[in-house]
Amino acid sequence: MYVNYLKHYCTSKVIRMKQAKSQKEVNEREYQTMACPLQNIPKYT
């Protein structure tokens, strides 16, 4: 359940970042920095 929450949160965050990027509100570096680092989330199973 916690993993599902993280996936949902990260997906929503990435979508918001993409929307902001399309609106020229963030640059590529900020997008890369703020996008959720899924590879860094510990594996809770």
pTM over 0.95: no
Q: Please give the tally of structural domains in the chain.
A: 1
* 41 lies in some domain: no
* 38 lies in some domain: no
* 42 lies in some domain: no
* 14 lies in some domain: yes
pLDDT of residue 45: 44
* 19 lies in some domain: yes
* Of 8 and 24, more confident: 8
Q: Which of 1, 5, 15 has its CA nearest to residue 34?
A: 15
* 44 lies in some domain: no
* 17 lies in some domain: yes
pLDDT, tens digit, 9 for 90 and up, residues 7-23: 777 677 777 767 766 66
pLDDT of residue 23: 62
**Domain encompassing residue 13:** 2-32
Q: Which of 25, 43, 42 has its CA nearest to residue 34?
A: 25
pLDDT of residue 32: 58
